[in-house]
Amino acid sequence: MDCGIKPARLWCQPQDRAEPGSKGRVSVAEVMAARDDTASRCLDRLRAGFGHLVLATLLALAPVAALAADVQGAAVAVNRIYGQTLANADMPEKLAEMVGKVVDLDGLSAQVLGPAWDGASQVDRADFEAALRDVIAVELARRLHPDLTFAITAIKPLRDDDVVVLSTLTRADGRVTRLDWKMRPCGDSWCIFDLIGDGASFSVARRNAYALRLDALNGSVPALVRSIRAEIGAKL
């Protein structure tokens, strides 16, 4: 093992050599002392190197552990949303209030409304967010039932800090539907920014449907909100 240390000198260097006729070799005691000194320094360097390696490993693993804890937080949030949906399924107002706290309504509304969001007034935006919140509440109540077995199957990272929590809903006859929850950090918890039911995105489906409806309504966001409200009323 090199250890970055040159071998101990067994013979005198040129400047240390004796004049011709002298012995010119170091004593056995000096050789053994040099070997002991070299071994000691090598061991010290190995210890220091090992310490640095352990520290570097711990520093590298710290973000991974933190990320794992955060990702598990997303799963906990989904389980909590599932339980609250079942508990409030027969109380639309409470369910809508809960949804308003666990959904990124600003981001999702802008995504669903598309270009019309940019030209909408603050009042129209707020009205659309409230209507979309109620649509999501109806959608969750429709999909989640106590007679279905709910299970989280995996958690996968997306870009930035976003993740998708994969879940299944199993009927008594064994039929399985899949519901994926796209989640992102919101304050000290997680919130939904899209739902994927059996491969179909809620945000994409609503964006396409509302874009067609907006065209028919001459781009009027208030008229779109009224039509959404009428649609919700028919489902309740």
Domains of the chain with CATH codes? 65-235 (3.10.450.710)
Q: Is the pLDDT reported for residue 144 higher than 90?
A: yes
Q: Is the pLDDT reported for residue 184 higher than 70?
A: yes
pLDDT average, residue stretch 178-200: 96
Burial status of residue 15 (CB atoms within 10 A of its CB: 0-12, 13-18, 19 or more): exposed
- How far does the chain reach from its first CA to its final CA, in angstroms? 78
190-219 pLDDT, tens digit per residue, is 999 999 999 999 999 999 999 999 999 999
> What is the pLDDT of the chain when averaged over all its residues?
82
Share of the chain above pLDDT 70, in %: 70
16-72 pLDDT, tens digit per residue, is 444 444 455 556 555 455 566 665 665 566 566 555 554 444 444 434 344 444 789
Burial status of residue 220 (CB atoms within 10 A of its CB: 0-12, 13-18, 19 or more): middle
Q: What is the pLDDT of residue 35?
A: 60
